[in-house]
Structure 1
């Protein structure tokens, strides 16, 4: 009896695999969309799922295989997704026809997952617009000026640490995460933390695990991709209860203390407390949480890759040093003088071109929309509500049609003389259209301050452990060098 049951289950499973494989490969074929045949159940995600390749490498192969297509097919497990690779079409989707694509893809219900699903990132429709309007004042020039001293204080901690460890080869990733952790703790939550001294503080430990998914979270993510309605009904959460309680307790206790003691501070919690609108504690917590989750890993990643590129491109580093030195002598570092660091802008933009944490801009169709044919002589494609598309970012950044010799690190692409040559929607590290990253200006300020300070104090030295050229560590989303970023910081005379 047991053998018969096992045989039945095995036959059913094999039958499902064959059926799903057939359906998967027929889906795009029937619609005239070019694609790579997927693996049963895993689609085009097999190598990413088992960490054989980085997700970016997976989609880069598909992007490069069909250079004349406006969009191509991609199977994310068993879910069909269109990869939009034509800049003009991306412009239509994200700007001109934004009302058809107002929402990001939904994974978990807001009732079950108020932190993640209830954040600005995943809010929908009118609630998203209201929250966006509420949060926008947090990132005006006047608010940025108030936050600059908080960033400088944390960058000073990094500089002091590097002075104390000059003779060492340093793995930069951990160091940069401690910096971004402390900046966001201060600017978002009003907490003063020095993760270089208190290395095991709870804020850093929890933050460090937010986007470094464990096996259970990886499985949940896959299940939510395959069966989104089921995970919503079951009330599945992506993060453990400890994470929710930690952030909720910080926000609630901070709001109670400030109300009771009449305390004000230039951070996001303060802004949300003063904002118009009836926002619940969970909603407020969700916004501060996503500010942390988005800023912690992505900003650290850009810093790490910028430092890596400067180490293996000493001529770029020297020119950047001269610009920073000149600014210090002429004006010093202020909010206004930061904008005068044009070459630093170019260096960071070139880092974001090659190593953007974004990878793609996902959108869910909310109103029926007809895409033009993927090629001349092809058939149009009708998107229906609920269909998901990925507007490509990194693969377009690395397309030689838009950026000649794309693997070369060349900040001159973004110089005052050359930046007009960049085609619209071929550089989108912070997204595009009304859903453009709300924290972009804050992130750029955070990046500039630390790179400026490092340039003035140290030469970043390539070592035998510094990977050149850079290859990515296999991961679903995080951008990291395969063997880490190892450099020395040599004190300038």
Structure 2
């Protein structure tokens, strides 16, 4: 009897997946959208799920298969996705017709993971709009200016540590994540952490738990994507409960302590406390020419009241983005500087001259480092952490024909589109010789050659990265300090060229990132 039941269940599952396999291909066929046939259950993402390549390679394979299409079909598991290849269409979806594409895809539901699912990234509709309006004043230049001293202090800690490790092989990934960890601990949570000295501090270890997915967590992530409703019923948790509880309790206890003792500190928790009371106001800063964000949201007459969990979710996603995304850019930048000594020398001459003429970094003078901007822009072009700008259709929308002579495609509520970032930024049609690390393409003389919406490391439109100012400041401070004090040297362990480690999201060198440091004289 048991054998018969098992045979029935297995047969039913196979029939179900075969039906989905046929249905998802039919979805594209009847719309005249070209696609690469997928594999049952996995679709076009089999290679990355089996960790044979990075997810960005799966995207790129489909992107490059149809060079004359404005958009193509991508099969994510059992879900049909419209993959946008045309910059003008990306502009329409993310900016011009944003009201049709307000929401992100629900990667992780709030019911499964309250902190991540309830963050600004995952919020939908009016709730997202209200939270974005609430948080926008926290990311203005005037607020970021107060956070730069935290970063300079932590980068100085890094330099002091590295001066004792001259001519050793340096694990760049470990070093950089300790920097971004300490910056977030200070700028978001008000904690004084020195992770290069206290290597096993609790804050750092909890961050590691979030990003080092084991095989079981990877399976659960895939499972929740393919079976979202079943995952909710089963109460599937992807992140360890002790980790999310740690961040939730830390935010709550810090807020309670500051409220009780009337303590103020210029960090993210303080800004959220002010926001929850409606006391956080936008400040005009005409002199701010740092990283523009689309903060055009007008607060409502009656502001929404946020729960403790909702506020904790915003600090949590700030940690996730500030820790991992910033670390990605910094690791790749240091690695590229080791591989491109001519670029590094030009950057050193700029930072040396800056130091002689201007002295210390400040929020107001950091933007004058033009070549540093170019280097970081080129790093984020070649190794964008963003991967895609996903959007869910929130009301019917007609896409123009995918090719000349084709028919328009009608998108309905719930349909998903992926606006590609990495593939466009590595397309020779828009960025000649794309594998070359060439910061000069972003110089004042050349940047006009970059076609709009082919460089989007922080996203575009109203759902762009709200923390772009903070992120760029975090990157600039450390690269400035490292290059000023050390020559970054390629070693036998330095991968050349860089290949990506198979991973679901993070951009990381396949064999790690290793360099040696020589002191500047």
- Same fold per superposition (TM over 0.5): yes
Q: 1:316 aligns with which of 343, 348, 353?
A: 343
Backbone CA RMSD of aligned residues = 1.4
- In 2, Cα distance between the equivalents of 1:222 and 1:373? 32
**Structure 1 residue 217: deviation in Å?**
2.2
What secondary structure sits across from 2:516 in the alignment? strand
- In 1, Cα distance between the equivalents of 2:108 and 2:381? 31
Match of 1:80 in 2: 80
Q: 1:434 aligns with which of 462, 467, 470?
A: 462
**Structure 1 residue 9: deviation in Å?**
4.2
- In 1, Cα distance between the equivalents of 2:110 and 2:503? 27
What secondary structure sits across from 1:44 in the alignment? coil
Match of 1:420 in 2: 448
Q: Does 1:194 find its partner at 2:222? A: no
- Contact kept in structure 2, 1:69 and 1:374, CA below 8 Å: yes
Query: CA deviation digits over 1:125-179, x for unaligned, max 9?
Result: 1111111121112221211111011001111111111111112111100110010
- In 2, Cα distance between the equivalents of 1:471 and 1:107? 26
- In 1, Cα distance between the equivalents of 2:52 and 2:200? 31
- In 2, Cα distance between the equivalents of 1:293 and 1:238? 15
Alignment of 1:240-279 (within 5 A): 240-275=240-275, 276=278, 277=303, 278-279=305-306
- In 2, Cα distance between the equivalents of 1:146 and 1:7? 64
Match of 1:474 in 2: 502
Match of 1:367 in 2: 395
- In 2, Cα distance between the equivalents of 1:124 and 1:233? 21
Query: CA deviation digits over 1:222-245, x for unaligned, max 9?
Result: 122112223234443332221221
Match of 2:169 in 1: 169
Alignment of 1:72-471 (within 5 A): 72-275=72-275, 276=278, 277=303, 278-332=305-359, 333-471=361-499
Q: Which of 260-269 and 207-216 deviates more? A: 207-216
Query: CA deviation digits over 1:60-103, x for unaligned, max 9?
Result: 11111111111111111001111111000000000000001111
**Structure 1 residue 202: deviation in Å?**
1.3
Question: 1:259/1:5 Cα in 2 relative to 1: closer, same or farther (>3 Å)?
Answer: closer
Q: TM-score, normalised by structure 2?
A: 0.92
Q: TM-score, normalised by structure 1?
A: 0.97
- In 2, Cα distance between the equivalents of 1:283 and 1:5? 44
- Contact kept in structure 2, 1:72 and 1:83, CA below 8 Å: yes
Q: Which of 271-280 and 114-123 deviates more? A: 271-280
- In 2, Cα distance between the equivalents of 1:233 and 1:368? 30
- In the alignment, structure 2 segments of 5+ residues that lack a partner are 279-302
Q: Which of 235-244 and 385-394 deviates more? A: 235-244
**Structure 1 residue 20: deviation in Å?**
3.1
- In 1, Cα distance between the equivalents of 2:229 and 2:82? 21
Question: 1:162/1:9 Cα in 2 relative to 1: closer, same or farther (>3 Å)?
Answer: same
- Contact kept in structure 2, 1:83 and 1:389, CA below 8 Å: yes
